[in-house]
């Protein structure tokens, strides 16, 4: 079928984004982890645990520089205090804490699985992080000077004995720039509340990975992405004003889709808008902005 051109007229208000593709299984995208990588490994007999990490280098998260973080067992990182909250809240929370949530849900590491973490300031992990960031955010000439890798490997959900879910978050910094990578392996369905993405104090910036508040969607996380790498999400999170370089008077955008029928289904429309927004954010659209579809117009090639 010949491609058709569609004009999507959008207006700007508040936030949401993404791109979803399918492909190879996600574990190959994980950074090194576990005891074989030299991680500090937590194998706990307790349900709720948090590990305080003193960071070797400050991590700037939307304008706030942190020298420590807590790796919380329920699938999130916090900065000012630990969190044992196992009932996730949908982003934006409009709360008083910054949070990075690769998969915030009720996890019970006393059943099975491990949580491990490690910081790096030299070596092949920094080389890999530098390459990844320059691939996903071209033009920055970025060099990683510090990396933190935290991994939840084959952990179980509370009240779901026998389940195994694997995911990872990578914090990367260099100069005045900060990034996070979220990697997904096999994730089991859960009936617990769940949310993935990040949120900031008063939700001045936030991102919810589409579908991640639905426990039935969890197995699809390893195919979801915003950087054309199945299972991986990448975000710039330092919050510098230089990120917001697009002019505010953009009101119309042209896209090309493979079939006009792609835009007749509401779920497809949402996916297209999320893909568009993520692309614009990579080129400077403020992440406090949301794109909504105003009209679809079919034109002849």
| Burial group, residue 84, by CB count within 10 angstroms (0-12, 13-18, 19+) | exposed
Give mean pLDDT, residues 202-209.
92
pLDDT in tens, 46-101: 556 788 999 999 999 999 999 999 999 899 999 987 676 767 688 898 888 999 99
Q: Which residues pair with 53 in a beta bridge?
A: 69
Mean predicted lDDT score pLDDT of the chain: 79
Q: Please report the pLDDT score of residue 90 as a whole number.
A: 85
Express each pLDDT in 226-247 by its tens digit: 999 999 999 999 987 544 333 3
- Write out pLDDT tens, residues 104-136: 998 988 878 889 999 999 999 999 999 999 999
- pTM comes to 0.74
Residue extents of the structural domains in the chain: 35-245, 255-300
């Amino acid at each position: 079928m010949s491609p058709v051109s569609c004009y999507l007229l959008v207006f700007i208000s508040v936030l949401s984004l993404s791109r979803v593709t399918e492909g190879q299984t996600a574990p190959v995208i994980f950074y090194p982890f576990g005891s074989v990588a030299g991680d500090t490994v937590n194998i706990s007999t307790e349900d709720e645990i948090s590990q305080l990490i003193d960071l070797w280098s400050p991590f700037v998260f939307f304008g706030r520089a942190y020298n420590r973080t807590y790796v919380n067992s329920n699938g999130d990182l916090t900065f000012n205090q630990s969190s044992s909250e196992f009932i996730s809240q949908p982003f934006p929370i409009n709360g008083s804490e910054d949070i990075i949530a690769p998969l915030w849900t009720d996890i019970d590491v006393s059943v099975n699985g491990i949580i491990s973490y490690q910081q790096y300031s030299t070596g092949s992990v920094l080389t890999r992080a530098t390459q990844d960031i320059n691939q996903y955010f071209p033009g920055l000439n970025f060099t990683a000077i510090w990396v933190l890798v935290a991994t939840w490997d084959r952990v179980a959900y509370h009240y779901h004995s026998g389940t195994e879910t694997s995911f990872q978050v990578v914090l990367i910094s260099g100069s005045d720039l900060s990034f996070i990578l979220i990697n997904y392996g096999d994730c089991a369905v859960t009936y617990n509340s769940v949310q993935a993405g990040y949120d900031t104090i008063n939700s001045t910036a936030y991102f919810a990975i589409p579908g991640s508040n639905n426990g039935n969607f969890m197995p699809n996380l390893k195919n979801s992405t915003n950087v054309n790498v199945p299972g991986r999400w990448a975000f710039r999170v330092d919050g510098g004003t230089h990120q917001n370089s697009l002019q505010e008077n953009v009101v119309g955008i042209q896209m090309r889709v493979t079939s006009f029928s792609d835009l007749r289904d509401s779920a497809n429309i949402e996916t297209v808008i999320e893909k568009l927004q993520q692309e614009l954010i990579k080129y400077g659209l403020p992440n406090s902005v949301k794109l909504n579809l105003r009209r679809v117009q079919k034109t002849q090639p």
